[in-house]
Amino acid sequence: MNFVEELRWRGMVHDIMPGTEEMLEKEIAAGYIGFDPTADSLHIGHMVQVMLLVHFQRAGHIPVALVGGATGMIGDPSGRSEERNLLDEATLRRNQEGIKKQLSKFLDFESGIKNKAVMVNNYDWMKDFSFLEFIRQIGKHITVNYMMSKDSVKKRLGSDSREGMSFTEFSYQLVQGYDFLHLYNEIGCRLQMGGSDQWGNIVTGTELIRRKTGGEAFALTCPLITKSDGTKFGKTESGNVWLDPEKTSPYNFYQFWLNVSDEDAARYIKIFTLIGRDEIEKLITEHNNSPHERILQKRLAEEVTVMVHSRDDYQSAVEASQILFGKGTTETLRKMNESTFLSVFDGVPAFDINRNLLVGGVTFTSLCAEHSQVFGSKSELRRMVQGGGVSLNKKKIDDPEILIGEDQLLNDKYLLIQKGKKNYYLIRAV
C-alpha cells in the first residue's frame, strides 16, 4: 500500500513537502503526530490525525504518537485567538494515560511486528532542559524573523488582535521543533504529520533538523475538517463528541454520524473508515440512487462506532435508535444501560415519585394522574387506555387500574410512559 496515494484518494492531504513520497517508498520510516493532553480523552476532532497514523502503520511504517506533556504546559497558538489554560503535571500524566488507552484501539503498540507503534511524551526530555541550555542549543538556530513569518504568529500579532501573544506561546514552535529534532536523533524519525494549521510548526522542525544536523526531514498535513455548512466539525450543541463512553455515550456517538448530511457522509466515509475505494464508490452510487435510505450514514455510523467502541455497543445503539420509531420492545429497554437510556429519552418530560409508592404497588391511574402529571385527569387516561393508545415500558396498558410495582422499574429507577405514537414521559422513583 502506497501511504500517500491512499491518503490522496481519501481527501486527506493538504500540504506535503517535496521528496516525502519518494522517501516513504524507499524505506520503512518513523513518522509522528503530536496530541496535546488537554483532556483525558480524545474527541472526534482528533480522529483525522489518528487515522493518519492508522494508515501509516498499515502501509508498513512506524507510527509515533507524541503526547505533548511539555507543550501542553505551554499551549499551541495555532488556530486560536486567545491563550489557553496551563495544566499541572499530575493532570497531564492522567490525561496521557487516557489518550494511550484510546489510541491502543487503533494502533498496535504491543505485538512483535517490526513496525509496532510507539508512544512518547515530550515532557520526558524537556523537564531537565534548562532555559539557558535551550536558548543556547536551539534558540540560536531559528531567527525571530523566521518565527514571525508563520501564519499562527502573524494572526495573533496582527492589527486585528487585541490580546497579542505571550512569550510562552511564541516559544511553542521552537519547543515543537525541538521535539522533531529529538525524535530524529533518537529513533530516526523523518516525518511529522498533523492538521493544516500545524504546517508552520512542522516546517520549523524540519529547518531545525537541517541546521543542527545537516539531515533531511519531511512534513505532511491533512485538511481541517468542516461540515458542509462551514461550521466546525465534531461540535454539537452539548459540546465535543468524545471517544470516552463516559463523556459521550455510544448511542450519542452513533447518532452523531448517523445524522450527518449526504455531502458530509460521502467525505467522512473516506476519512474515518478503512473501507476500500471500490466498496466506497459502490456505496456512494447506491446511496445516490436511494438517498432516503441513508445508506452512507448507516454504514459510516456502524464502522466508526465499532472501531471506537465495540460491535456490542453498536448493536445497542441501533436497537436504542429504533425505540423512538416504535420498533423497540420491553426487552430492548431492559437491556439498555442507564446512560444509553437517558441519552435516548433526553428532553422527555420527567416526573419524580416517592419510591415507597411502588413497594406495595400503585394503580396506573393513580401513578399517572395523581402522583405525576402524565395525564391531566383520570378520565383522559381511561379514554386513551380504552382506545389502545397508552403503553408502559413499551407494553400496551389494557387495564387502567393495573398495579405498578418496583419490579417494573427500568434500571431500578425509571418507568417509561407512552401516549399515542410519539409522546413519551419518564417517571423516576426517588
pLDDT for 46 beyond 50: yes
Amino acid 64 reads V
Within 10 angstroms of residue 380's Cβ, the number of other Cβ atoms is 14
More confident call, 126 vs 18: 18
Residue matched to cell numbers 500517500? 4
Q: How confident is the model at residue 251 (pLDDT cuts 50, 70, 90)?
A: very high
Compute φ and ψ for 44, nearest 5 degrees. -70, -15
- Please tell me what DSSP assigns to residue 16: E
pLDDT band of residue 81 (cuts 50, 70, 90) is very low
Secondary structure (DSSP) of 202-259: HHHHHHHHHHHHS---EEEEEPPPB-TTSPBTTEETTEE-BSSTTTS-HHHHHHHHHT
d(CA 69, CA 122): 6
Angle between helices 277-289 and 262-271 in degrees, nearest 10: 170
The angle at the Cα of 389, spanning 384 to 394, to the nearest 5 degrees, equals: 130
The answer to whether the CB of 72 falls within 8 A of the CB of 267 is no
Using 50, 70 and 90 to split pLDDT, how confident is the model at 82?
very low
Which carries the bigger pLDDT value, residue 92 or residue 318?
A: 318
Kindly tell me the burial class for residue 169, based on how many C-beta atoms sit within 10 Å of its own C-beta (0-12, 13-18, 19 or more). buried
Domains identified in the chain and CATH numbers: 3-222 (3.40.50.620), 235-344 (1.10.240.10), 350-429 (3.10.290.10)
Q: Are the C-beta atoms of residues 170 and 153 closer than 8 Å to each other? A: yes
pLDDT per position as a tens digit, 156-213: 676 566 677 777 677 778 888 899 999 999 999 999 999 998 898 899 999 999 999 9
CA–CA distance from 195 to each of 274, 392, 403 (Å)?
Answer: 19, 50, 60
Residue 72: its pLDDT value, please? Answer: 67
| For residue 6, pLDDT beyond 50 | yes
DSSP type of residue 389: -
